[in-house]
Structure 1
């Protein structure tokens, strides 16, 4: 019966029958419902979708990360076999740009095993079309990997994992929930208080009405991947908007047709995301035995990898496109655009020295 209902109707029915749901449950249904979720049914990326990611702005983004991958592979002794895994590969644009550059390094292509983690059938089709020559395989989980080092790349992946939200009140913390008020979805609070001792020390004694967000899903993905990387060698590179240390604040947002939208409207048709607590991910990675680099802004990272030089070379080769190349460069690293908003996180095997993080 529920198959005949819209996702909006299904969510409202679940609230009526089971009571208010957590923000995490709501996000999970909106984004990954088996047939009506945002990432299951549509093609969200690009000018015809709801948002544009850095790889769609310029090939330079992926090319520089391709050089970065080769650098790490060489540091690992040019392993004869290794796994390259991308989380949420979108339309396959980033991976295609990375491999176009990386596979110029002798031995890289022969050693490569390409793995992708994706939940959107339409996007999987685009990934297959763009990456077929590299013989990609799609993973359903992070439990089993072949022998050899693992290099993980995640661009705008962790921000889409469901979060839970808590608000501090006089009697403790209360989880934020979504219920129905006069038939319309609305935010409210669970009546059950949670003691401050259950919260991270950094936020436990925050001022009343302060909000704290936590992504248990993000922490679990990092835990699983870090465990494997710690055992087999390699690195995890994550690029997203977020913050370096655990903090308070409401960062849940909705985007539809390249504009901000109410997160409670049009479930399944609106992209939902939240800023990433890279500090928390770093703790998980280090607990698994990995080292972490100081968080860099996207602007710092790309400039240290040579974005300016790459843009200049492209402009010399394509003088008629110089203005567009400069515009893309500014969009990627400009302080008022993506340069400061997006952060770059790296956890890796002890002993490796990933470029792009230290001046």
Structure 2
């Protein structure tokens, strides 16, 4: 059967295939890849998140052991920086932490193992496979890579988008989740069912066993209509419906839906708030200034990297920080009011 003769495929299923092929075969990260994430921009990012986890652990009553989990660890850069920082600054947390990584790509698992040495206790295909116990979970640019469904308002009802011969087509929205009835004609509603499932699963786990989960990703703070599907290859825009595996395909995170799923499962939600505000409160700029003094030849790089992560005109406004935590925990660092 030729590509043109293949039956339409639901968008989320196409995107799931594309993501699996992409991370199994390509080197996505860094200047030689397709995009650069925050941990690759500056070591201060992972250091700040590691120390955030240590402070949250202390607020939990310093349980031992505690799982330190990263979802979608990339090349292991964030975790390596986090472990180095807590090893120097909060040794009891480093001693209590058992590192678990949720990663489906065998190729990336090998890269992470090389970067982290013996620090990682285990790898898992999904969060359901994590061992029981209190957990500190960190995820940077993880939710945006999960496959979405798209629905289009037509004639007072909803149609679903499918992929056929490299283009979007519309068909029956059978089996669709609840969708707003007050949407204008032509409105596009995106639904990320895997993100909602992860919010519910982590919310239930944290409510029952303790802990906190910190997510940094991009998208609006409130739900809304719009088509945010996009792709990148070689640091430039690409066709999200191109050959699966040829580009990194992402969409904006629906933080409101993610938070609602976690709350319904029993977790407390803090945020979302702009990444720039969050990192500024964690001391990103102070750490960048310290790195600049320690490494004067690269001082400009260290200071510019902090600006790239936190300035509103760069990643500081579009990217958000959100925390799911046990209801008994206080407001955690970075999420203070005002």
Give the TM-score normalised by the residue count of structure 2. 0.94
Residue 201 of structure 2: SS of its match in structure 1?
helix
- Residue 224 of structure 1 deviates from its aligned partner by 1.8
CA distance in 1 between counterparts of 2:38 and 2:127 reads: 25
Distance change in 2, residues 1:216/1:147 (3 Å):
closer
Alignment check: 8 A CA contact 2:151 2:161 kept: yes
Residue 312 of structure 2: SS of its match in structure 1?
coil
- Residue 319 of structure 1 deviates from its aligned partner by 2.2
1:199 aligned partner: 178
User: How do 1:6-45 residues align onto structure 2 when only pairs under 5 Å count?
Assistant: 13=3, 16-17=5-6, 19-32=7-20, 37-45=21-29
- For each residue in 1:269-321, what CA deviation from the matched residue of structure 2 results, as whole angstroms up to 9, or x when unmatched? 11100000010010111111110112111100100111121122222222222
CA distance in 1 between counterparts of 2:104 and 2:33 reads: 17
CA distance in 2 between counterparts of 1:124 and 1:325 reads: 28
User: How do 1:142-221 residues align onto structure 2 when only pairs under 5 Å count?
Assistant: 142-180=127-165, 185-190=166-171, 192=172, 199-200=178-179, 203-221=180-198
Alignment check: 8 A CA contact 2:221 2:273 kept: no
User: How do 1:1-359 residues align onto structure 2 when only pairs under 5 Å count?
Assistant: 13=3, 16-17=5-6, 19-32=7-20, 37-104=21-88, 105-180=90-165, 185-190=166-171, 192=172, 199-200=178-179, 203-352=180-329, 353-358=331-336, 359=338
Q: How many residues align?
A: 335
Give the TM-score normalised by the residue count of structure 1. 0.89
> Structure 2 regions of 5+ residues with no counterpart?
none
> Structure 1 regions of 5+ residues with no counterpart?
1-9
Alignment check: 8 A CA contact 2:201 2:262 kept: no
Alignment check: 8 A CA contact 1:172 1:193 kept: no
Alignment check: 8 A CA contact 1:299 1:335 kept: yes
- Residue 103 of structure 1 deviates from its aligned partner by 2.2
Residue 296 of structure 1: SS of its match in structure 2?
strand
Indicate the structure (1 or 2) with the bigger Cα radius of gyration: 1
Residue 316 of structure 1: SS of its match in structure 2?
helix
Residue 224 of structure 1: SS of its match in structure 2?
helix
- For each residue in 1:104-162, what CA deviation from the matched residue of structure 2 results, as whole angstroms up to 9, or x when unmatched? 31322221111001122221111001112313310123224434311111101110110
Residue 103 of structure 1: SS of its match in structure 2?
helix
Alignment check: 8 A CA contact 1:43 1:122 kept: no
- Residue 195 of structure 1 deviates from its aligned partner by 11
CA distance in 2 between counterparts of 1:30 and 1:332 reads: 28
Distance change in 2, residues 1:206/1:138 (3 Å):
same
